Amino acid sequence: MKSNHAISEKHMAGKRPGRPSVDRRDEILDAAERLYEAMGFEKVTVTDVARALGMSPANLYRSFANRQAIDEAVTSRALTAVEDAAWHVARGAAADPVHIFELLCMDIALKMRDLLFWSGRSSDLCLAATRGNWPPVQAFMQTLRGLIRHVIAEGQRQGVMRADLPLEETTAATFSAMAKVWHPVMLDTFGAADLESETAALTRLLLEALKVKN
Amino acid sequence: MKSNHAISEKHMAGKRPGRPSVDRRDEILDAAERLYEAMGFEKVTVTDVARALGMSPANLYRSFANRQAIDEAVTSRALTAVEDAAWHVARGAAADPVHIFELLCMDIALKMRDLLFWSGRSSDLCLAATRGNWPPVQAFMQTLRGLIRHVIAEGQRQGVMRADLPLEETTAATFSAMAKVWHPVMLDTFGAADLESETAALTRLLLEALKVKN
DNA sequence: TTCATGAAAAAATTTATATTCTTTCATCGT
DNA sequence: ACGATGAAAGAATATAAATTTTTTCATGAA
């Protein structure tokens, strides 16, 4: 799975005057990200982003259909970082799917917390995206679900997780259960005070259901 | 001060001119509830409530410290109805704690859904209360947690649920897991389309962890 | 005294207006 | 042509003034 920037340009506004031949999306997103980080994304105007790049605001619209598209792309990049780290855990060194499950659950919870409470002002964007159920958030949640399914399936294959539980339903239920410690809206509502112990307890309980009995 | 210290009236605004000797709280709450239902609680003024009762607005302030207190009391009554129904299920006819657990989880989820999506305009109030984490909501959540603990403890006592799982931690984890289908903020974010099957799947998985092995 | 109210201060909300931001597109320079 | 832009229309957001709502409290009636 290589980076496929050149291909996935469904975002390229085809109707616009002329889209750039060289792709300046990443430049733009870098600048936007920096500004969002510095002053909170709600205070940043597209003029600010353009100025930071020494171009006119109008020029941004050849790379992005509108401001919402920029916001979503920045969101996407932030969430992709979490996804990548999580996939790394899931495919990582640890061989035992049970252990991987534990690591994965905790890793995601802590990364989401960081995103919301320690990512400077980027949390505004993350929260807005979550509240509005923006497409990148939906995609992200799908990825998380895929991760869970992957680990459970592997656990079942290796005989350390119960194979008599239906994979899809079990995946869905596990994913639902983790929402309390994974979902930004929940983290925002309850804060992240006992997040670690809560996540650990939740994970332990779920594993009691998933693990094969001794 | 006289010998009158049998004051169970913790709610009585003590600092106010003279509090009523006969408690008109319930009357007031009835009127408020009716109005909230009819026109949405954000549109209702305390003057409206007072007028509905044929009294002056100022008079309400002898029974309630402020409008927020009225809103919270109405919220409290709505949530108490759910609590009561849930306790009824928990202590109800069904003898098997495992079955009670299933019924309880589903009952709460469906009642929360009704509150949010079918209670006319009362859902505004419920959502505002949940978003702001009002005290009645916190109390409600504590009650739900208590219900779960009760059922699990009973299941352990009867030997149908695993007694080797620590009661408090298991209760906490179970409660966390149910947030996805119980918590108004989640219901609001995701809608209630597949609520029943999601709740059923979640409950089944949790029971796999809680039940004793065959 | 005890209960209740009118009237007014304080707070919040709405309305109207002004300013800024987003987005388009005709036009410029290469 | 092609990438880029200035300028202006359309949206959205902020500011200010007016109105409504919440809350207090001194005073009156029972």
pLDDT at B53 over 60: yes
pLDDT band at B210 (very low <50, low <70, confident <90, very high): very high
Structure tokens of B137? 């909501």
pLDDT of amino acid A7: 28
Look at A93 and B181; give whichever has higher pLDDT: B181
Q: How many angstroms is C1' of D22 away from CA of B7?
A: 28
Q: For the beta carbon of residue B134, count every other beta carbon within 10 angstroms.
A: 19
pLDDT band at B21 (very low <50, low <70, confident <90, very high): low
Distance, CA of A131 to CA of A44 (rounded, Å): 19
- Residue in A177, A37, A195, A193 with CA at minimum distance from that of residue A111: A195
Chain B residues in contact with A165 (beta carbon < 8 A):
205, 208
pLDDT at A160 over 60: yes
Mean pLDDT (chain B, rounded):
88
pLDDT of amino acid A22: 61
Average pLDDT over residues B27-38: 95
Which are the contacts of B44, defined by CB distance < 8 A and separation ≥ 6? B32, B35, B36
Look at A84 and B188; give whichever has higher pLDDT: A84
3-class DSSP state of B98: helix
Handedness of CA A14, A30, A121, A190 (dihedral sign): positive
pLDDT at B1 over 70: no
Which are the contacts of A101, defined by CB distance < 8 A and separation ≥ 6? A151, A152, A155, A203, A206, A207, A210
Of B185, B202, B208, the CB nearest to A176: B202
Average pLDDT over residues A173-182: 98
Of B172, B202, B207, the CB nearest to A198: B172
pLDDT band at A117 (very low <50, low <70, confident <90, very high): confident
Q: What is the pLDDT of residues B153-207, one digit of tens each?
A: 999 999 999 999 999 999 999 999 999 999 998 998 899 999 999 999 999 999 9
pLDDT band at A75 (very low <50, low <70, confident <90, very high): very high
Q: Is the CB of B66 under 7 A from strand D?
A: yes
Q: What is the pLDDT of residues B107-154, one digit of tens each?
A: 999 999 998 888 777 788 988 998 888 999 999 999 999 999 999 999
Q: How many angstroms is C1' of C22 away from CA of A79?
A: 26
Q: Looking at beta carbons, which pairs linking A19-25 to residues 24 or more positions away fall under 8 Å? A: A19/A62, A19/A63, A20/A62, A20/A63, A23/A63, A24/A63, A25/A63, A25/A64, A25/A73
Side-chain-side CA neighbours of residue A89 (13 Å): 21
Q: Domains in chain B, ordered, with CATH?
A: 25-64 (1.10.10.60), 68-210 (1.10.357.10)
Least confident of A1-10, A12-21, A79-88, A198-207: A1-10
Q: Do A208 and B208 touch (CB under 8 A)?
A: yes
CA distance A24 to chain B (A): 34
pLDDT at A11 over 50: no
Mean pLDDT (chain A, rounded):
88
pLDDT band at B5 (very low <50, low <70, confident <90, very high): very low
pLDDT of amino acid B13: 39
β strands within B7-79, DSSP E: none
Average pLDDT over residues B81-97: 88
Of B131, B173, B180, the CB nearest to A205: B173
pLDDT of amino acid A21: 54
